[in-house]
Structure 1
Amino acid sequence: MGTGHYFWAIFYFTSLCSASLANNAKINFREKEKKVLDQILGAGKYDARIRPSGINGTDGPAIVRINLFVRSIMTISDIKMEYSVQLTFREQWTDERLKFDDIQGRLKYLTLTEANRVWMPDLFFSNEKEGHFHNIIMPNVYIRIFPNGSVLYSIRISLTLACPMNLKLYPLDRQICSLRMASYGWTTNDLVFLWKEGDPVQVVKNLHLPRFTLEKFLTDYCNSKTNTGEYSCLKVDLLFKREFSYYLIQIYIPCCMLVIVSWVSFWLDQGAVPARVSLGVTTLLTMATQTSGINASLPPVSYTKAIDVWTGVCLTFVFGALLEFALVNYASRSDMHKENMKKKRRDLEQASLDAASDLLDTDSNATFAMKPLVRHPGDPLALEKLRQCEVHMQPPKRPSCCKTWLSKFPTRSKRIDVISRITFPLVFALFNLVYWSTYLFREEEDEVPLAFV
């Protein structure tokens, strides 16, 4: 056997020994970790019912620092006034009873998955409606115990939280939804919640909401006093801005189109009664259906919303177009009646003139008396001549442009249609100017705090 074979045999034996020693070291290290857990959490050594001491081992309240990571915001319901959020919730406090030897820095922390092994703060979400933990594949929770006695508790939860909304400016509104956390049983003499310094709330990047945008969020304190004492409380205010483009496409533009379609009735012939009636009734029913559909997606509130003003005015314009046709129809029948009366009067006058002409012809054949060349002052023909002269001598009045233009339309019904063609669009344009200037360039009713994160 050569020298090379001896060298490789020695190298192989050395490698086996090194691997065996490393495995033994790992086993020994895990054994030490088990001993540490038994040492600090063994039977009779740690009581999870007793809260930790205060800062520096004093008898003051235990300090628990909170931070959140918002993973997603699923839905924001206007009709239920609630929103659903999924978050990673973390608590951190110091329990000096859990100090242990870190084995020269090799043991960074101990990990537990059973929360009942150590003392836990009795935190609850005061505005929670529903909530659940996540248990797939394993419960999404862990507890880390650090050598200095610091405890980190982290869990992933999904919550449905109440969010009281003010819908006066809907759908041009902003809503503030809160997440409130408080102690249920420990008063501020025993337990105090504080926000973690630095960055207490994080939000996932590219958070997408269907009809809202998360603009800002604010962390604050909300301690409450009751008959049983004062309890520590934290809150996060989330400021949501409603996306207006959806409502512009689905509500505002269709309502404008319905109002404009109702004006087509002004351009139809007055005698087209079926066409004008069906157009007016159809647009009115469609507008009413649109309004009821909008209200069905909102809670019944006692105040007037911005969308109520819009739909109410649009419905009024459509209804006004239908009433305008009723007025035109009445005026048309009145014009027809007057025309018939004038025709009858002209027929009577013509018949009287014909009778007088026949009588005059008969008298001229019977006698040849000469008529006087100068008429008496009481002669009706002379009075008519005098009246015409006076009219011609008076200075002519300059007619106004509106009267001149309206004089082109001889009947009242036609004039009503022509006036409506101009009046309805002008009034609707004026309403749009007032509406959008009021709601788009308004002062915020509830000023948003400036201390947003």
Structure 2
Amino acid sequence: MGSGHYFWAILYFASLCSASLANNAKINFREKEKKVLDQILGAGKYDARIRPSGINGTDGPAVVRVNIFVRSISKIDDVTMEYSVQLTFREQWTDERLKFDDIQGRLKYLTLTEANRVWMPDLFFSNEKEGHFHNIIMPNVYIRIFPNGSVLYSIRISLTLACPMNLKLYPLDRQICSLRMASYGWTTNDLVFLWKEGDPVQVVKNLHLPRFTLEKFLTDYCNSKTNTGEYSCLKVDLLFKREFSYYLIQIYIPCCMLVIVSWVSFWLDQGAVPARVSLGVTTLLTMATQTSGINASLPPVSYTKAIDVWTGVCLTFVFGALLEFALVNYASRSVTTYKCLRILYIQQL
């Protein structure tokens, strides 16, 4: 009998455990998420117009940490002095009004796709010319709310940014293109942007640019003061090195060949006037066309570029070869005329 009682007790305990596990398995966490969202974002409970408090609930400025992932850089335009970049932009801050119960660690975070439901930093790109969001198939944006009130905002955007360039060493130059992000309306008394600790900027590994190489990038701060206050600002400096091989093949080698061809006239007979004139004029016009084609792909700057010095020297050599023929021809005709006059003078004597 004793063993029978033990058997029924164990069976009863097992049935209770099974029922408990079944009840836990039946918990609908999606329904829990809805209830939590209604609890923290319901009408009259959360006002997205009010900024979060400072660190540890103080009255100081709200701290927003930023990090970006550069997905691609499509072009760097010398004429318009701009570049296009696609990136994943992320911001993270703490809003204590959004704290919730994580159900013993089972509810890791809540996900939103509507940015207007919570307070958002008023960040803008100060050197932006054009930009757009990505909405295929759905808007590429999300907001994650963690149990401790931490908010993560992530969005994929494409931007065309201004990049003032110094082309004095073109095409042996290096250019620094910046990405500047600043607060538009909140001053540093209310909002401060900081770079995320540990690798705040990431670049895709297989980044390919046809005429440039991304050597390195640096993060820094660029707070600005105006007559309305001081505004927090972040910047990324991208250092690009121009690839020289393209210009070696397209510009330097053809210019050298034109100069060498113009020197062929030195080995022609001085009496071969049509051949020497045709060769000199043709190489001079070709060199002038090459120079104008190079300048057409560059902005009209007020200073002399390295490529201008190179094409100017090549053009001088080609023109000098043509001028040499003219001087030699003139000198030879002068000598011939002098000899003829001398012979006539001797005959008259």
**After TM superposition, is the score higher than 0.5?**
yes
* Alpha-carbon separation, structure 2, partners of 1:291 and 1:263: 19
Structure 1: 4+ residue segments shifted above 3 A: 1-27, 450-453
* SS of the residue 1:241 aligns to: strand
Shift, 1:4, TM fit:
24
* SS of the residue 1:27 aligns to: coil
What are the Cα deviations for residues 221-246 of structure 1, in whole angstroms up to 9, with x where unaligned? Answer: 00000000000000000000000000
Q: Which residue of 2 aligns with 1:262?
A: 262
Shift, 1:33, TM fit:
1.3
* SS of the residue 2:88 aligns to: strand
Does the 8 Å CA contact 1:218/1:452 hold for their aligned counterparts? Answer: no
What are the Cα deviations for residues 103-137 of structure 1, in whole angstroms up to 9, with x where unaligned? Answer: 00000000000000000000000000000000000
Q: Percent identity?
A: 96
Shift, 1:215, TM fit:
0.3
Does the 8 Å CA contact 1:122/1:184 hold for their aligned counterparts? Answer: yes
* Alpha-carbon separation, structure 2, partners of 1:96 and 1:68: 25
* Alpha-carbon separation, structure 2, partners of 1:221 and 1:63: 14
* Alpha-carbon separation, structure 2, partners of 1:321 and 1:5: 119
Summarize the Cα distance change of 1:31–1:259 in structure 2 as closer, same or farther, 3 Å threshold. Answer: same
**Which stretch has the larger CA shift, 180-189 or 29-38?**
29-38
* Alpha-carbon separation, structure 2, partners of 1:451 and 1:239: 81
Q: Which residue of 1 aligns with 2:348?
A: 452
Superposition pairs of residues 81-230 of structure 1, within 5 angstroms: 81-230=81-230
Does the 8 Å CA contact 1:217/1:452 hold for their aligned counterparts? Answer: no
Q: CA RMSD in A?
A: 10.4
Name the count of aligned residue pairs: 337
**Which stretch has the larger CA shift, 50-59 or 18-27?**
18-27
* Alpha-carbon separation, structure 2, partners of 1:188 and 1:23: 51
Does the 8 Å CA contact 1:168/1:303 hold for their aligned counterparts? Answer: yes
Shift, 1:332, TM fit:
1.6
Structure 1 segments unaligned to the other structure (5+ residues)? 334-449
Shift, 1:27, TM fit:
5.5
* Alpha-carbon separation, structure 1, partners of 2:22 and 2:258: 82
What are the Cα deviations for residues 373-407 of structure 1, in whole angstroms up to 9, with x where unaligned? Answer: xxxxxxxxxxxxxxxxxxxxxxxxxxxxxxxxxxx
Summarize the Cα distance change of 1:7–1:165 in structure 2 as closer, same or farther, 3 Å threshold. Answer: farther
* Alpha-carbon separation, structure 2, partners of 1:194 and 1:83: 25
Summarize the Cα distance change of 1:18–1:211 in structure 2 as closer, same or farther, 3 Å threshold. Answer: farther
* Alpha-carbon separation, structure 2, partners of 1:165 and 1:451: 74
Does the 8 Å CA contact 1:75/1:84 hold for their aligned counterparts? Answer: yes
Does the 8 Å CA contact 1:216/1:452 hold for their aligned counterparts? Answer: no
Q: In terms of Rg, which structure is larger? A: 1
Higher strand share: 2
Summarize the Cα distance change of 1:151–1:332 in structure 2 as closer, same or farther, 3 Å threshold. Answer: same
Higher relative contact order (CA 8 A, sep 6+): 2
* SS of the residue 2:50 aligns to: coil
Does the 8 Å CA contact 1:70/1:87 hold for their aligned counterparts? Answer: yes
**Which stretch has the larger CA shift, 24-33 or 48-57?**
24-33
Summarize the Cα distance change of 1:268–1:49 in structure 2 as closer, same or farther, 3 Å threshold. Answer: same
* Alpha-carbon separation, structure 2, partners of 1:276 and 1:104: 93
Summarize the Cα distance change of 1:315–1:183 in structure 2 as closer, same or farther, 3 Å threshold. Answer: same
Q: Which residue of 2 aligns with 1:409?
A: none
TM-score, scaled relative to structure 2 = 0.89
Shift, 1:20, TM fit:
13
Summarize the Cα distance change of 1:262–1:93 in structure 2 as closer, same or farther, 3 Å threshold. Answer: same
Does the 8 Å CA contact 1:63/1:192 hold for their aligned counterparts? Answer: yes
Summarize the Cα distance change of 1:4–1:193 in structure 2 as closer, same or farther, 3 Å threshold. Answer: same
Structure 2 segments unaligned to the other structure (5+ residues)? 334-345
Does the 8 Å CA contact 1:218/1:451 hold for their aligned counterparts? Answer: no
Shift, 1:21, TM fit:
8.0
Shift, 1:2, TM fit:
30
